[in-house]
A = this chain, B = another copy of it.
Amino acid sequence: MRVEQLRGGWVEAVHEVHVAVVDSTGGLVARTGDPELVTFWRSAAKPFQALPLVADGAAERFGLTSEELALACASHSSEPGQVALVRGLLGKVGCSERDLLCGPHPPLSDRVAQDYQRRRLRLTAVYSNCSGKHAGMLALARHHGWPTEFYTRLEHPVQQRCLAEVSRWTDVPVAAIKTAVDGCGVVCYGLPLRNMAMAYARLANAKVVVEAMLRHPDLIAGEGRPCTDMMRAHPGRVIAKVGAEGVYCAVLTQKGLGVALKVADGHAIASALAMAAVLEALGLRPRPASLTARPSVNTRGETVGELHVNGGLEQ
């Protein structure tokens, strides 16, 4: 499978895609490219970084709502309502925005980014797309009585706890997981696509987190963004979660299938188009209109080509 950038009728650029589709035992159901490719899970690991909140009792103790749990799993759009929910979560655990160690960045939603720029809003840590995850990590630290300082570092018990959870769901031993620093400063995990897909296939077992995500497609990403569009197109049947640098994961809840894909060169839009095509191939028809192809418009407003998926899955 590859995602092609067309200009006129001709291919101008290509984005190679690697896909693993597996069942909850890790059995490979379908693939394309190299399903054993090792890459970083990035933000697609967020549901597993949120799971200790439930497993260790922090969610119950602090009375976290399904909205707050969904945001802990999200790469949100920094929408005002999303940011307010993260502030509420921080307050519940006796923390504030000042405890967040994620760096600021322009909102992932162009619409929100333009709105905030027009209003000259000062972007702080709570506006980071990862602020829900970070707030969840602070909640975990509070729950266990761990220090809230330096919670992003590999040696901090919060990161060690998340790493253990990732190992448990992916069946990759902690020592075999490659670690590096993520865009927001926490630990990120390098492992094979097949293992990522298996963890997603098994995610159905994590009822509280799965139900929170399924109930709030609008919080997992945001208005007009691919994860939200894919989940809204098939309510209750799919969770889709993007990661940076071309990673995308999903679980088909009714079929018990997990999907992990990587666009080799890291192209973000290509990865969303590829995931929409994979989900369609696995029976979630039709894919959202916004994700069938992406028109290319030049500086004069003329449509001069499109980005689209070519090829499918192999058994």
A residues adjacent to B (C-beta < 8 A): 5, 7-10, 12-16, 38-40, 101-105, 128, 178-185, 188, 190, 245-246, 264-267, 298-302, 304-305
Contact = CB atoms under 8 A, between A and B. Distances in A.
Nearest to A304: B181
How many copies the complex holds: the figure is: 2
Contacts of A102: 299-300
A266 B13 contact: yes
Given A245-B12, A299-B104, A299-B128, A188 B265 contact: no
Nearest to A264: B14
B298 A184 contact: yes
A261 to B, nearest CB: 13
Given A128-B299, A184-B299, A304-B180, A10 B245 contact: no
18 contacts: A5-B266, A7-B40, A7-B245, A8-B178, A8-B190, A12-B266, A13-B246, A13-B264, A15-B265, A102-B299, A102-B300, A104-B299, A181-B298, A181-B304, A182-B298, A183-B299, A184-B300, A265-B267
Nearest to A101: B300
Nearest to A123: B299
A185 to B, nearest CB: 4
Nearest to A185: B300
